[in-house]
């Protein structure tokens, strides 16, 4: 299997200096899984720091055979950057791509369990490793933990993370299993599945795009899995910190866009009526705690979905109210369960 580990970078020179040498050592040459030819590709999204210069001096100019650099003219976002990178002529011959954030520390042998699953299970279109927090290494990391799920109102959660409650990793979620979505921080996807699904929806720019992609993969008959025997450590918020109203805005706007694209119009109308009030309560909570910028981000997310984004979205073909299997999609409300004290995945599903 020919595998490309593709790192999308935007002004992340510090992360590249810290983590790229480890990615190369643990993924290429002797660090690659047996029978797997792996290459590391850094796709630069129009960085204005010293990222490109450092990459050229450290790897490109010395002729490192395991590292390639693609430099874009501007920042196309997470979605546009990866779509352009994986469509590049130098990458079309690969069998699989591993989309990896620049702020991820990998571990020796991290690719072996993922590659083994792809070899053994040809119906698995995407998979992810277990994510732990870089600064609290015994805890799961928010962006994906040990596999992503979603409830029927569109709220995403993980094995090991419900909303802002993150569990300590004690091996309780170490089984390989199907999930609804795999994190974009470290996402292995078959080239065939990527092309058939059409890549990422560029209107999202960033956030929720991997959940939207995985939803399409499910509909096409692919499985999405988590392989906890592969472990990586994620800093999180490398390009956009959790304290940023911009992050809140993108999450709320793109969550609505994802539901609109993947549900029937009638189903979406029902869900949106409920979400309008729930998201309104969230905005009110932000106001009551003095986080006015966050409250405004929620309002702008709803407004811009309806006024700017919706008409340009490509809707997926979907018949009736059918939803993915209850094994990967929670049919209740994770928000209500959370409100009444069920804040661990083991008590949720």
The alpha carbons of the chain give a radius of gyration, in whole angstroms, of: 20
Burial class (CB in 10 A: 0-12, 13-18, 19+), 127: buried
Domains of the chain by start residue, with CATH? 2-234 (3.90.550.10), 245-347 (no CATH)
Q: Chain centroid to CA 28: how far?
A: 23
| φ, ψ for residue 189, nearest 5 deg | -135, 140
What is the pLDDT at residue 162?
A: 95
Q: What is the DSSP letter of 105?
A: E
Q: How far apart are CA 162 and CA 318, in angstroms?
A: 28
Structure tokens at 306: 């309806």
Unique residue bearing structure tokens 């805005």: 249
What is the pLDDT at residue 347?
A: 78
Mean pLDDT by groups of 10 residues along the chain of 349 residues: 97 97 96 94 97 96 95 96 97 97 97 98 98 97 97 95 96 97 98 97 95 94 97 83 86 96 92 96 96 97 97 70 68 88 84
CA angle, corner 51, sides to 212 and 56, nearest 5? 115
Q: How far apart are CA 329 and CA 221, in angstroms?
A: 15
- pTM (2 d.p.): 0.94
What is the pLDDT at residue 319?
A: 47
What is the pLDDT at residue 315?
A: 80
Burial class (CB in 10 A: 0-12, 13-18, 19+), 276: exposed
| φ, ψ for residue 45, nearest 5 deg | -95, 55
- Please report which residue ranges of 181-244 form alpha helices under DSSP H: 191-197, 209-219
**What residue ranges in the chain does DSSP mark as E strands?**
2-9, 37-44, 67-71, 96-101, 104-106, 124-133, 148-151, 156-158, 161-162, 165-166, 177-178, 186-190, 223-234, 329-330
CB distance 46 to 81 below 8 Å: no
Q: How far apart are CA 124 and CA 205, in angstroms?
A: 26
Give the three-class secondary structure for 181.
strand
Count how many Cα atoms sit within 13 Å of the Cα of residue 100 in the half-sphere of its side chain.
31
Q: Tally the residues of the chain.
A: 349
């Amino acid at each position: 299997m020919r595998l490309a580990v593709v790192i999308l970078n935007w002004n992340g020179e510090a992360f590249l200096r810290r983590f790229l040498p480890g990615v190369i050592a643990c993924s290429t040459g002797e660090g690659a899984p047996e029978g797997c030819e792996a290459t590391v590709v850094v796709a630069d999204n129009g960085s204005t720091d010293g990222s490109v210069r450092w990459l050229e001096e450290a790897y490109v100019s010395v002729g490192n055979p395991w590292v390639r650099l693609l430099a874009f003219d501007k920042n196309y976002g997470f979605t546009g950057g990866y779509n352009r990178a994986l469509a590049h002529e130098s990458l079309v011959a690969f069998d699989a791509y591993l989309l990896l954030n620049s702020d991820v520390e990998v571990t020796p042998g991290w690719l072996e369990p993922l590659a083994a699953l792809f070899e053994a299970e040809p119906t698995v279109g995407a998979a992810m490793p277990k994510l732990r927090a870089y600064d609290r290494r015994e805890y799961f990391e928010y962006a994906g933990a040990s596999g992503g799920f979603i409830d029927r109102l569109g709220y995403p959660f993980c094995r090991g993370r419900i909303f802002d409650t993150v569990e300590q990793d004690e091996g309780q979620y170490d089984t390989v299993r199907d999930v609804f979505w795999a994190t974009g921080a470290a996402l292995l996807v078959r080239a065939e599945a990527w092309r058939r699904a059409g890549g990422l929806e560029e209107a999202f720019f960033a956030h929720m795009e991997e959940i939207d992609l995985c939803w399409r993969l499910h509909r096409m008959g692919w499985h999405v899995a988590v392989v906890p025997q592969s472990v990586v450590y994620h800093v999180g918020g490398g390009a956009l910190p959790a304290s940023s109203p911009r992050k809140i805005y993108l999450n709320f706007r793109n969550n609505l866009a994802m539901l609109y694209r993947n549900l029937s119009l009638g189903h979406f109308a029902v869900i949106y009526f409920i979400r309008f009030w729930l998201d309104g309560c969230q905005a009110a909570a932000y106001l009551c705690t003095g986080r006015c910028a966050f409250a405004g981000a929620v309002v702008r997310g709803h407004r811009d979905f309806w006024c700017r984004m919706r008409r340009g979205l490509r809707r997926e073909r979907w018949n009736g109210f059918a939803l993915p299997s209850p094994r990967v999609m929670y049919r209740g409300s994770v928000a209500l369960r959370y409100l009444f004290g069920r804040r661990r995945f083991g008590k949720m599903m």
